[in-house]
Amino acid sequence: MPVMADSGAGENTRTITDMRGVQVKVPKEINRVVIIDDGFVEGLLYRFGKQDLVVGVGGDSVKKVFEYNFTTKDGEFYEYTNGMNTVRYLFPEADDLPLVTDGKTGINYELLASLEPDLVIVRAGAYAFRAGSEEALDKALGTISSLGIPVFVLYGPTYQDNASVDRIADEIKLIGEIFDEQASANELADYLDGIITDIKTRTVGVPDAEKPRVMEFGLSSTARGEGGAGMAWGLDTIETHFIEDIANAKSPFTGTGAFVVISAEQMLALDPDVIILPTAQGYHPAKEIYTAPYYQNLQELTAVKNKRVFPLPWTPYNWAKRLEYPIEAMIIAKAAYPDKFTDIRVADWVLDFYKKVYKVDDKTAKELRSVQWLDWVEEENF
C-alpha cells in the first residue's frame, strides 16, 4: 500500500509517498487544488464534499456537454443530447474553472502559478496529461515543483506496466489520505473492488472452449475514413483486460496495441459472439451498427444477427478509467454470461452504484444514468 504519512514533517505539512515513490510534503490544510485529470480525482472530491477546493482543471471533459446523431439506412434520425462526464453533471461549476493544459502535454505554467494552488494532483496516463514518456513527465513535474508548488502523482491504469484496474483502490486511498477522508476512501475502494471480485467469482472456472468470444469494437468515422470498419484493441490493453481478466471471456482479436483499424473482412473473420461498443472514439449505440447504411456490410456478424451488441456508458476521454469502471465491467460480464447474472438488472443496479459512489439521491442517480446515455439498459430491461 503506497500511503505513508510521516509525522516528522513540518508543523503545517505531512509527508505522503505518491505512486512514483516520491515523498511529497502535502499541506495539512488544503484550500486550493489544481487537478490535472479527467474526472477521477474530481469525482472523489465530490464524494468527500470538497469539490469547491478545485480552482483549476487539466481535462476539458469535465467541462464539455456532448451530442451525437446518426441516420439509419431507412432515413430515421436518432439524436443523443446532454451527454457528459458524471463530474460535469454533479459539479457544473467546473465549466467556469481555468483549463491549465492543452489536452496533450502542454501545461500553461504561468496560469497554473497564478491560481496559487496549495497542491497540484496529476494523474499520469489520463487523457488530460499524456506525457508520452517518463522523461517528459519528470520534466513537467519538475517545472511545477520549481514554482514552489507541491505536486502529487497518481498512476492511472494505462500508465502502469500492465494495464489493469488493480491499483485504482490505491489511488482512491491516497486521495483519501491527502484530504483526511480515509474512512470514506476505504469504504469506496472496498465497494468497487467488491464488484470486480463478484464478477470474477461468477465467471470463474469456465473452460476455454466454452468461453464466449467477446470483442470491444470501436465504431469510428476515422476508421471508416481509412478504409476500415472500426477499431480493435489488443491483448496488452485495458479493454482486453476487462474482457479476459475480469469477465473471464475470450477476445477473438489476439493482436497488440490500441486503436487498431480493421477491415470489414477482418471483422467478419473474427466473428465475435458479443460486441461491446467502447467510447474511445465517441459514443455509438447498438442501433447504429444494426441500421446505419455504412455498417450494412457487418450484418452477417454473429453478434449482430443475434442482437448481442452492447454500448458502454458514455465516458468521454476515459483513457485511464474513472470511478465508473465497474459499470463497464458489469455490462461486459452480463453481456458475455447473461445466465450468470440473471439476478442483476443493470438498470436498477447502476442507480444503486451511483448512490453509493457519489452519495446522491434516486433522482440524481437516474439523471446520471441518462447523461451517461445508459437509458438503453432500462428500455431493454438489461
pLDDT digits (tens, 9 = 90+) for 279-295: 988 999 999 999 999 99
Least confident window among 13-22, 127-136, 190-199: 127-136
Q: Does the pLDDT value for residue 86 go beyond 70?
A: yes
Residue 98 and residue 372: Cα distance in Å, rounded?
24
| pLDDT of res. 161 | 84
What CATH topology corresponds to 192-379? Rossmann fold (3.40.50)
Q: What is the pLDDT of residues 360-372, one digit of tens each?
A: 999 999 999 999 9
Q: List, in order, residues 6 or more apart from 149 with CB less than 8 Å away.
A: 112, 113, 117, 119, 120
* CATH architecture of the domain with residue range 5-179: 3-Layer(aba) Sandwich (3.40)
| pLDDT of res. 105 | 54
Residue 39 and residue 337: Cα distance in Å, rounded?
30
The answer to whether 276 and 310 have CB atoms below 8 angstroms apart is: yes
Per DSSP, what are the bridge partners of residue 200?
Answer: none
DSSP 3-state assignment of 93?
helix
Q: Does the pLDDT value for residue 337 go beyond 50?
A: yes
Span 94-112, mean pLDDT? 86
pTM score: 0.95
Q: Does the pLDDT value for residue 103 go beyond 80?
A: no
Residue 11 binned pLDDT confidence (cut-offs 50, 70, 90): confident
The answer to whether 30 and 118 have CB atoms below 8 angstroms apart is: yes
Average pLDDT across the chain, whole number: 94
The answer to whether 27 and 177 have CB atoms below 8 angstroms apart is: no
Least confident window among 9-23, 35-49, 327-341: 9-23
- Measured in degrees and rounded to the nearest 5, phi and psi for residue 307 equal 55, 45
Q: Does the pLDDT value for residue 214 go beyond 60?
A: yes
Instruction: List every span in the chain annotated with CATH 3.40.50.1980.
Output: 5-179, 192-379
